[in-house]
Structures are given as C-alpha cells and as structure tokens.
C-alpha cells in the first residue's frame, strides 16, 4: 500500500524526482539530501511500511540482500574504506521520516562522520535482567 501523505512513497514511486542509484519493482535507492558522507544513500521499499516492525519477513530479507549488493557497488565505485548500514525506528531512535528506509553510508578514513556511539557501562546483574526480560517475550 502507498500512503498519500508520505514523501518517501512519492520519491520511491517516482512521483517526486530523486537521484536514483538503483531501481527495481520493489525498491529504489536514492542519494540522501543531507549526507553524512560522500555517497550517503537511502534504500526505500516502494510499498509503505512505517518502520522495521511493519515489514513482512520476505521484504525484510530482500532489504538486506539488496543493501549488501548496492553497498558493495558503492564501496568499489567511491573508494570507500568502510561502510555503515543504519536503520532508525521511532523518534527516540532518531527516525524522522516514517517510511522504512535503510541508510547506506560509505565511510572514509578520518571522515569524522558522527555515527558511532560512546560506550556506556553495564553490570553483570543488569545483563542478566535484560536477558530474562527478552527471554520472557
């Protein structure tokens, strides 16, 4: 299903033009308009899913296969030294557009893109408690 109010539905389905690196029946890969690094792209399904939790299993598995293939092409073409796949779900996680997308972010030595986090701390008791909560679901 498409969502008439969703900008990524319009971009993914070609109603709004974009710089497209790849397109097939199910997906479009576009350049991000506010790139973290040179070549930062977004993998968009053409159907509307708000986030990861709305994806059916078949689409979810296709996303990773497609991301892997495009990332490899981009890494070779752009001479990237590394690559981040980033995927935000929910406002608390930094999601700003509520149509599922995977960020494809080429990384270059010393690019200083602020993508990684500062490691926190956790006690063995907290780890055990987390494990029990997840196991209980």
> How many other C-beta atoms can be found within 10 angstroms of the C-beta atom of residue 81?
12
# residues near ligand 5GP by CB under 6 A? 13
* Nearer of residues 92 and 133 to ligand 5GP, judged by Cβ: 92
Residues making contact with Zn ion (CB under 5 A)? 3, 6, 8-9, 48, 99
**Is 99 known to be catalytic?**
no
Residues in contact with 11: Cβ distance below 8 Å, sequence separation at least 6, in sequence order:
18, 28, 30, 44
> How many other C-beta atoms can be found within 10 angstroms of the C-beta atom of residue 47?
19
Sign of CA dihedral 9, 10, 14, 17: negative
18 is a contact residue toward ligand 5GP (CB under 6 A): yes
37 is a contact residue toward ligand 5GP (CB under 6 A): no
33 is a contact residue toward ligand 5GP (CB under 6 A): yes
Catalytic residue ranges: 101
């Amino acid at each position: 299903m498409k969502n008439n109010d969703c900008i990524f539905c319009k971009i993914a389905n070609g109603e709004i033009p974009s710089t497209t690196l790849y397109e097939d029946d199910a997906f479009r890969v576009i350049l991000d308009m506010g790139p973290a690094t040179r070549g930062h792209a977004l993998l968009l399904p053409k159907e509307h899913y708000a986030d990861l939790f709305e994806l059916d299993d078949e689409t979810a598995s296709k996303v990773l296969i497609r991301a892997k293939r495009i990332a490899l092409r981009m890494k070779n073409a752009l001479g990237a030294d590394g690559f981040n796949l980033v995927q935000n779900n929910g406002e608390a996680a930094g999601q700003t557009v509520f149509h599922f997308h995977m960020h494809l972010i080429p990384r270059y030595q010393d690019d200083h893109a602020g993508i990684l986090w500062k490691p926190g701390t956790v006690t063995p008791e907290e780890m055990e408690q987390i494990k029990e909560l997840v196991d209980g679901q």
